[in-house]
Amino acid sequence: MMTAATMMNAASVESEVRAASAPLLLEVSGLSARYGKVPALTEAALSLRAGQIVTVIGPNGAGKSTLLNAMMGAMPAGAAASGRIAFQGEDVSQMEVEERVARGLSLVPEKRELFTSMSVEDNLLLGAYKRRRNGESGYLDQQEFVYALFPRLKERRKQAAGTLSGGERQMLAVGRALMAKPQVLMLDEPSLGLAPLITKEILSIISQLRSTGVATLLVEQNARAALQVADYGYVLEMGEIVCEGPAGVLAADKRIVESYLGVAREPVELIQRNVSS
Residues that bind ligand ATP (CB under 6 A): 35, 40, 58, 60-66, 76, 221
Residues making up the chain, counted from first to last: 277
- One-letter amino acid for residue 147 of the chain: Y
The rounded distance, in Å, linking the Cα atoms of 99 and 196 is: 35
CA distance 264 to 63: 20
Beta carbon nearer to ligand ATP, 66 or 199: 66
Separation CA 98–CA 177 (nearest Å)? 13
Q: Which is nearer to ligand ATP, 52 or 222 (CB)?
A: 222
d(CA 150, CA 252): 31
- Of 60 and 277, nearer to ligand ATP (C-beta) is 60
Q: Which is nearer to ligand ATP, 250 or 252 (CB)?
A: 250
Eight-class DSSP state of 119: B
250 vs 232: CA distance, rounded Å? 8
Compute the least distance from the CB of residue 201 to ligand ATP, in Å.
22
Shortest distance in whole angstroms from residue 221 CB to ligand ATP: 5
Nearer to ligand ATP, 51 or 58 (CB): 58
Beta bridge partners of 180: none
Shortest CB 34 distance to ligand ATP, Å = 9
What is the b/e burial string over 223-248, where b = at least 16 CB atoms within 10 angstroms of the residue's CB?
bebbbbbbbbbbbbbebbbbbbbbbb
Shortest gap between Cβ of 153 and ligand ATP (angstroms)?
26
Nearest distance in Å: CB 170, ligand ATP: 16
